[in-house]
Amino acid sequence: MKPISSSVLIPFVIAPLFSFLWATSAHTHEDFLQCLALHAGNSTSSISQVIYTPFNSSYSSVLKFSIRNPRFSTPATPKPLVIITPLHVSQIQATIKCSQKHGMQIRVRSGGHDFEGLSYVSYVPFVIIDLINLRSINVDVENGTAWVEAGATIGEVYYRIAEKSRNFGFPAGVCPTVGVGGHFSGGGYGTMLRKYGLAADNIVDAQMIDVKGRILDRESMGEDLFWAIRGGGGASFGVIVAWKIKLVHVPSTVTVFTVNRNLEQNATKLVHRWQYVADKLDEDLFIRVILSAANSSQEGGRTIQASFKSLYLGGMDNLLSLMQESFPELGLVREDCTEMSWIESTLYLAGFPSGESLDVLLSRTLLTRPTFFKVKSDYVMEPIPEVGLEGIWERFYHKEAEEAELLLIPYGGRMSEISESAIPFPHRVGNIYKIQHSVFWEEEGIAASERHVNWIRRLYSYMAAYVSKSPRAAYINYRDLDIGTNSKEGNTSYRRASTWGTKYFKSNFNRLVHVKTMVDPTNFFRNEQSIPALSSW
């Protein structure tokens, strides 16, 4: 079974090409689009199916459809000269060739969830390859695998697996609209990471297009490049067009629960205790904590709410027994728990209301209206003392933190068994949990953005005493340009890139640079946090 359709190549006819250019005399557009017409193959369809320029009425809606953070969708935000929504890999090959020829950068967008907008924003002339049309999923139940095109979403993957078998699942993320192109290439974690590791730990093949326009699979790209794209960020090395994933077994019944506790209900001590047990629980049990400010029972007062949200790969009786043995302080009771199928649990953990149809997993629309946000990440290797937690609570009482939250993601289990160098993602044994720091706001304007971003930066500074050090580790899929960026000129030194690279990849950064230098020596595939190429190693 081939991951990409081998049907007749989509046409690029010269005549309809110029209908896109009636309102412009910009030679860059003309030359680039003529180049595409020459190199993308023969045609039976209109070019309007795959190319959008600022002079096309659909351009704005196509651009904005997958922008998940309005911070990067303002009038001042740089816009692409062209958006390509390829229907076939030949159109990606042509875009790579013509972008090199005409001096334009490429941004590749799968689901549009890059937290710093790097999949659809650049400050030099650029083209977006939007993979929204490359989203087929072919599930092979007999062999326990699936080929997934890079434009598919996590929700679509879950739905198509469950459509074929309720005995299989996949250990990817919670948000169903996230695209697999970026999610898998950055590692990708979800509620089964303690049982099965990351999404990238369960990738067995891939198909990508390199800087020379070649279509490569695992065998033809070699093990070094295959290693690099599974957790090292695929956009540094080429355009990922499909993944072959290994499905994982899930039981017929799983159990979920959500238990909310505030400060008046001993939340501080519960969170403190959670740190000592979360990574040591049975690997079938995942309990994350969501911390946020909330209204207290006292009029006009504020408190901190800790929401303990869990997936257990098994029945309720076993879960209650495990919790009584390992974390009795939480006070979990039968009434807190609900048994369901694994596929139903993906809706529950994504925040959908009870009774929601599984078809919602096929929607590419966010559950709520996009809001402005900024995210940072940390890893915790020693439990934060209660006094440290209380310092966090104090900062959550600030006005800017009204819609802020910390997500505490437990590690241990399978995550501690996999070597730090197995794939570029290095955050394995020794990590108790990961923190996602998030702040959200509705108010528009630069001043509002600065206030909220400065708040989370101050919180991040406060957290330095309690998190990993040398380096202070971070997660590539929680993109954060505050930790360092490449030179805007395009040629970035190893030393400069290592300021952020070692935080994401630790010692694996060296190997990533080596691979990059071999496969993209001119550093064509680049962005503010792409792996740099060196002229010599």
Which of residues 508 and 39 earns the better pLDDT score?
508
Q: What is the Cα–Cα distance from 446 to 76, expressed in whole angstroms?
A: 11
pLDDT band of 488, cuts 50, 70, 90: confident
For residues 52 and 162, state if they share a domain: no
Read off the pLDDT of each residue in 137-163 and give the average, rounded to a whole number: 99
What amino acid occupies position 377? S
Residue 270 lies in a domain: yes
State which of 431, 466, 501 marks the end of a domain: 466
DSSP state of 341: -
Mean pLDDT score of the chain: 92
Examine the residue annotation and report whether 462 is marked as an active-site residue of this protein: no
State which of 198, 232, 249 marks the end of a domain: 249
Residue 195 lies in a domain: yes
Q: Which of 52, 158, 466, 478 is catalytic?
A: 478
State which of 249, 278, 308 marks the end of a domain: 249
Residue 475 lies in a domain: no
Does position 336 have pLDDT exceeding 50, yes or no?
yes
Residue 366: what pLDDT?
74
Residue 487 lies in a domain: no
Residue 365: what pLDDT?
85
CA atoms within 13 A on the CB side of 351: 10
Residue 370: what pLDDT?
74
Residue 191: what pLDDT?
99
Residue 514 lies in a domain: no
CATH, residue 192: 3.30.465.10
Tens of pLDDT, residues 445-482: 999 999 999 999 999 999 999 999 999 999 999 999 99
For residues 81 and 172, state if they share a domain: no
DSSP strand E in 234-318: where?
239-246, 248-249, 254-262, 285-295, 302-312
For residues 224 and 125, state if they share a domain: no
CATH, residue 414: 3.40.462.20
Read off the pLDDT of each residue in 120-139 and give the average, rounded to a whole number: 96
- Per the structure, the count of domains in the chain is 3
Read off the pLDDT of each residue in 529-534 and give the average, rounded to a whole number: 95
For residues 31 and 121, state if they share a domain: yes
For residues 207 and 181, state if they share a domain: yes
Residue 459 lies in a domain: yes
Distances in whole angstroms, Cα of residue 126 to Cα of each of 69, 79, 119: 19, 8, 11
Residue 267's domain comprises 254-340+371-466
Chain-centroid distance of CA 303 in Å reads 31
Distances in whole angstroms, Cα of residue 194 to Cα of each of 20, 197, 418, 425, 428: 51, 6, 11, 15, 11
Residue 362 lies in a domain: no
Tens of pLDDT, residues 88-119: 999 999 999 999 999 999 999 999 999 999 99
Tens of pLDDT, residues 261-282: 999 999 999 999 999 999 999 9
DSSP of 471-508? S----TTS--GGG----TTS---HHHHHHHHHHHHTTH
For residues 187 and 70, state if they share a domain: no
Read off the pLDDT of each residue in 484-494 and give the average, rounded to a whole number: 87
For residues 18 and 100, state if they share a domain: yes
The answer to whether 43 touches 79, Cβ cutoff 8 Å, is no
Place of tokens 């596929």: 343
Residue 1: what pLDDT?
46
Tens of pLDDT, residues 438-447: 999 999 999 9
For residues 58 and 123, state if they share a domain: yes
The answer to whether 113 touches 175, Cβ cutoff 8 Å, is yes
Residue 18: CB atoms within 10 A of its CB come to: 13
For residues 74 and 150, state if they share a domain: no
Tens of pLDDT, residues 340-385: 999 999 999 999 999 999 999 999 887 676 799 999 999 999 999 9
Residue 455 lies in a domain: yes
For residues 333 and 403, state if they share a domain: yes
CATH, residue 43: 3.30.43.10
For residues 315 and 435, state if they share a domain: yes
Residue 257: what pLDDT?
99
For residues 324 and 237, state if they share a domain: no
Regarding pTM above 0.85, the answer is yes
Tens of pLDDT, residues 3-56: 444 333 333 333 333 333 334 335 677 888 889 888 887 644 555 589 999 988
Q: What is the Cα–Cα distance from 151 to 174, expressed in whole angstroms?
A: 17
